């Protein structure tokens, strides 16, 4: 069962979709799941003590793609991903939009592991 929030987002996005959403056309052209196994081993919070849950790997990759395509700083990426319904749809309407420091740490971790 969809939540009221999901219903509202779907309804609002339908208005954008009628106007034309380039991201919606691009998103299905890439198999985003292929990135998941490449990135999965970057995280090391699988100890007995655990740690803060990781953000979804595909959402993080898509955040970096949006940042690159639109030339956004980390703070502006956070703002746009929170504000723009087309960005949220592209990200899969995640419950939590990664913040600027999460994006920065993810990009640094990619660089440190040579996966950038």
Q: How many Cα atoms occupy the beta-carbon half-sphere of 83 within 13 Å?
A: 6
38/1: higher pLDDT: 38
Tell me what the mean pLDDT of segment 34-45 comes to.
Answer: 80
H-type alpha helices, 22-115: 22-26, 36-40, 57-70, 74-83, 85-90, 100-113
**What per-residue confidence (pLDDT) applies to 22?**
87
The pLDDT > 90 percentage for the chain reads 44
pLDDT at residue 1 is higher than 50: no
User: What are the residues whose beta carbons fall under 8 Å from the beta carbon of 63, sequence distance 6 or more?
Assistant: 77, 81, 91, 98, 103, 106
pLDDT at position 77, please?
A: 97
Domain boundaries, the chain: 4-113
pLDDT of 107 strictly over 60: yes
pLDDT digits (tens, 9 = 90+) for 68-100: 999 999 999 999 999 998 999 999 989 889 999
Q: What is the pLDDT of residue 9?
A: 77
Q: Tens of pLDDT along 62-72?
A: 999 999 999 99
Are the CB atoms for 33 and 58 separated by under 8 Å?
Answer: yes
């Amino acid at each position: 069962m969809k939540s009221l929030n999901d219903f509202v987002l779907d309804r609002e996005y339908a208005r954008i979709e009628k106007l034309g959403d380039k991201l919606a056309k691009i998103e299905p052209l890439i198999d985003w799941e292929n990135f998941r196994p490449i990135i999965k081993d970057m995280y090391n919070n699988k100890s007995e003590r655990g740690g803060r849950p990781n953000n979804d790997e595909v959402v993080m990759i898509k955040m970096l793609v949006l940042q690159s395509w639109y030339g956004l700083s980390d703070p502006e990426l956070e703002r746009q991903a929170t504000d723009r319904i087309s960005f949220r749809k592209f990200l899969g309407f995640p419950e939590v939009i990664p913040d600027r420091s999460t994006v920065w740490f993810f990009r640094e971790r990619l660089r440190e592991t040579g996966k950038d």
